Structure formats: C-alpha cells, structure tokens
Copies of this chain bind each other. A is one copy, B any other.
C-alpha cells in the first residue's frame, strides 16, 4: 500500500499548554487528529470543573473550525463525590501525577494510599484513572519500580479503568496481559528511540523526556505490542512543546514535540514492518472501544511520498527536525 486513510485518528495523551503556546500547537494537533486526551498539568493545574471547562473553551477556540474533540482531564487531587459527579460528563478521566515527578507535577500525589478515597469514588462513578507511573528511584528504574503500584490499584479497584500512560518498558507491556482493568498508551518516540539516541552519541535535548527512553529490549517490546495492535494499547504522543530556548540550554526541560508529524512517522514505521493494516486500531480503534468514545468524523489521508520535517513550528523544535521521512499527510 502506498496510501492509507485513517478514520478518526486519536492522540490519547497530549500536552497543549496555554496562552501563545496553545495557539501555536493546538491547530497542529487538530490538523492530524479527530481528538486528543488533554493533559491537565498547567500552572496552576486544571483541578476544578470550572478550570477544565474554561481550558476546553480556549482549546476549541485555538483550533478554530477544525472539528477536533479535546477529551479533558482533571489533575488528580482528593475530590468530593459531588465534584466528581458534576465533572464526569465533561472529562474522560483524571490524571494522577506523583508529586514533582515530571514537568508541572508539583502538588501531585505523595503516597498512593492518600489517593484511595478519591480512586474509590472514581471506580463507583466510572471515571478512568490515567497515571504517570514513575517513582523517584534511579532514572532507568522509575517505571519498573512503579509497577507494584499499578498492581496494587488494579487488584484493589477491579472495576476501575486504569491507564498506564506513556509506558516505556517491556515489564509494563507484560503487565497489560495480567490485569483486565489495566490499559496503556505509548508515544511515538518510545517506539523509535532508546537512551542511546538521547545520550549515546552527542547529548540530544530534543529527545529528552520523562519517562526517559529505556533499553533496546524495552523499545522492541513496545514496538511489537504497537505493531500487533495490542487491544489494550493506544497511541498517545505525549507531545510536549517547549520553546527552543528551554531545550537547547543548560538544564533542558523534558518533553518531545511530535504531534504534527506523528501520523506520517507512524505510517512509515508500520509500513516498514508490513503492519500498516494495524495502524487504524493503534491510533483510534482500540481507544474508541476501550474508552467507549465517539470521536468526530474525520478522515486523515497519508501517502508514501518523501517529506521534510520542518525545523520549527513557531518557537518549538519537533523531533527529527529537518530530516526526511518517507510518508506525508495529504493536506
């Protein structure tokens, strides 16, 4: 196949920021996707229905007429049942961050036990729990060490829909098949890179992210699960824009910007492995089924023709800036 049309493609993990950055990046996601799960780690965090609805308005406004559904999330804190019940129709889930573990996660959860009353309510109300699953251990171990927390929640709340966000290890992939109520997203970059690409040659800040890219055998396990359209795994870019000055400096911020180029690179990747038929499930079908959502009608066509990744979008440098890839969006 030299072309493919994706129906209702979804980005199940996206950072759109706010203000000028939102204006820059939201239209780029809307150009590729029918909808996206919007992360709530603004400063201050999106931790009330009022903030959430107001943020949603700003996103819709930034996307203008582009038929794009922002699936909103709340920043996890202990919420009253009334708040949760009121928020439920407006959100796809609540995003739990361990305190201080990544960009703008200050005020997150210090101990999972403290979070259990709200998690219990979420289970009762049918609100999914989305988790940044890392501990404060050694950087290469942070996700693996968190897996016991996933197991603890999955066992204790068997009717809770739990999403292990942006998984990076073969151990997390294996966990998907052990608990019925555990799901996962995986980014584009974690299907492609290892720590070698970040720090094996020169240091590459544009591939520095949290969780950090892991070992080759981890990347291979993620890739195999994605290419085979594992039914509990969905694409979530974790695309996270930072101004160039915050990436190419001493003390570079974590985050890889991939939203506008994710679909052509995924098409090239799945095509190279002879798995283009599985791309629809990975970028939409699995999420639609697992979350029971009904995204806006949108078809996105891709064709196998070389294209250049731009050096910048506004002030944001994308992954693989300036490089040629073998597929492109038909705009």
Contact = CB atoms under 8 A, between A and B. Distances in A.
A89 interface: no
Interface residues of A, number: 27
A242 to B, nearest CB: 11
A200 B212 CA distance: 8
A260 interface: no
Interface string A192-227: 001110111011111010001001100000000000
Contacts of A198: 199
A251 B195 contact: no
A198 B203 CA distance: 10
A328 B121 CA distance: 58
Describe A's contact surface by its main secondary structure: loop
Contacts of A139: 195-196, 199-200
A265 interface: no
A57 interface: no
A250 B251 contact: no
Contacts of A317: 250
A317 B252 CA distance: 16
Interface string A104-139: 000000000000000000000000000000000011
A199 B202 contact: no
A216 B138 contact: yes
